[in-house]
Amino acid sequence: MARLVMKFGGTSVADIERIRHVANRVKREVDDGHQVAVVVSAMAGTTDNLVNLARQASAMHDAREYDVVVSAGEQISAGLLALALQNLDVPARSWLGWQIPVSTSAVHGSARILDIDGSLLEERLGEGQVAVIAGFQGLAPDNRIATLGRGGSDTSAVALAAAIGADRCDIFTDVEGVFTTDPRIVAQARKLDKITYEEMLEMASQGAKVLQTRSVELAMVHNVRVQVLSSFEDKPGTLVCDEGEIVEQEVVSGIAYSKDEAKITLTRVADRPGVAASIFGSLADANVNVDMIVQNISEDGAATDITFTVGRGDLERTAKILTDVRDGIAYAQLVTDSNVAKVSVIGVGMRSHAGVAQRMFSALAEKGINIQVISTSEIKVSVLIAAEYTELAVRALHTAYGLDAA
Ligand code: ADP
Ligand code: ASP
Ligand code: MG
């Protein structure tokens, strides 16, 4: 007997027929004698609708009320799946975040899970009851509902698996696993049988939304065996695991892209100590995440330009903050551009192979794509390019690194 966490995303619970299908999939595990905790997302499209409604009601919304609205979708799918399971004579009940409870940090809208008290759940699992848990939500210190950021049900599932000591955490979605790149834009993308936690972490944080970044971090820290697989087809998926479990490692395992980027340039910023600290300090204070940063040495020793990127949704806020602190920083101009995308190549093999970045730059040059900003880590190279070339760039790189399916 094993203890399993099974997570189903939005398209997997999109309508009653899909929910019945999921109930049957869960029943299979129960019939095999396993204890099962299921985590569900909202039905496809629901969260987007709720986000829009909250924005229409109030553009500068109170994040606590935003959370009350957008967390509602998961409540519906959890209740419906519990009903569908009961209909198959499988004992089941739904659990909302506060009922478990899942305790989170205070940052409404993108809270982090701090603790899950699994005791009540484990008691019920021991009695043979299936727990159907609303993902994406928890209880903040102010005793109010908090949500975990878009795609957060993945994190609910992994955190729960760690809390109840599950043997496996299966993430069921609308593709067969983790691919070399988004299979929806590159038909030649290949499914990976295995991927390391580190690579998956980079893929997710560079834009591959198949798993929420935070869920991979948690899986890595708590050593949770995560498998990504299709809820539509009965096929083996992708196992996210330690490097040691992978026999043949490619130099580059995947390519990710993100269109959720905006570029900001401050021209003629004073070239003296403390300036970068005050620019990025004021953004950090406002919880703005800064990603790529470039600064050149100044020609005249007096002033230089600084370019950096933030999430597209943070652009207006960032521009306002920098305008407010302009006197302290003394830049000449603030130039913004949201017509950009970030494309990244990822692979642990880069640590021991030279020429990976060069191959990327050549492949982009061959397509006439201009590189605006470059950033690297030990296992990744990212470039910022004009948004309209995203798909072209991803396809060209996929071919250049020999990742195309035969
Ligand atoms: P769910 O609703 O099940 O959580 P998501 O839409 O959040 O599903 O994530 C699955 C989607 O992630 C896929 O439909 C696919 O388009 C996208 N995706 C992006 N990069 C990858 C990748 N490298 N491998 C697999 N899927 C990817
Ligand atoms: N329903 C939430 C979202 O759409 C959480 C999730 O699906 O993981 O972002
Ligand atoms: Mg998702």
User: What string of pLDDT tens digits covers the 406 residues of the chain?
Assistant: 999 999 999 999 999 999 999 999 999 999 999 999 999 999 999 999 999 999 999 877 799 999 999 999 999 999 999 999 999 999 999 999 999 999 999 999 999 999 999 999 999 999 999 999 999 999 999 999 999 999 999 999 999 999 999 999 999 999 999 999 999 999 999 999 999 999 999 999 999 999 999 999 999 999 999 999 999 999 999 999 998 888 777 899 999 999 999 999 999 998 888 989 999 999 999 889 999 999 888 778 889 999 999 999 899 999 999 999 998 888 999 999 999 999 999 999 999 899 999 999 999 999 999 999 999 999 999 999 999 999 999 999 999 999 999 8
Architecture of domain 3-174: 3-Layer(aba) Sandwich (3.40)
pLDDT of residue 15: 98
Closest ligand to residue 191's CA: 1
Specify the pTM. Answer: 0.94
* 210 within ligand 1 shell (Cβ under 6 A): yes
- CA-nearest residue for atom 9, ligand 1, is 210
Place of tokens 């204890």: 35
pLDDT of residue 374: 95
* 178 within ligand 1 shell (Cβ under 6 A): yes
* Number of separate helices (H) and strands (E) present in the chain: 13, 18
Q: Cα–Cα distances in Å, from 367 out to 14, 180, 293, 294, 361?
A: 39, 21, 25, 24, 10
String of b and e for 232-267 (b: at least 16 CB within 10 Å)? eeeeebbbbbeeeebeeebbbbbbbbbebbbbbbbe
pLDDT of residue 110: 93
Domain boundaries, the chain: 3-174
pLDDT of residue 224: 97
- The answer to whether the CB of 123 falls within 8 A of the CB of 85 is no
- The answer to whether the CB of 64 falls within 8 A of the CB of 107 is no
pLDDT of residue 14: 98
- CA dihedral over 353, 341, 279, 298, signed as positive or negative: positive
- The closest-lying atom of ligand 2 relative to the alpha carbon of residue 152 is 8
Q: Ligand 1 mean position to 63 CA, how many Å?
A: 27
pLDDT of residue 280: 95
Q: Ligand 2 mean position to 64 CA, how many Å?
A: 17
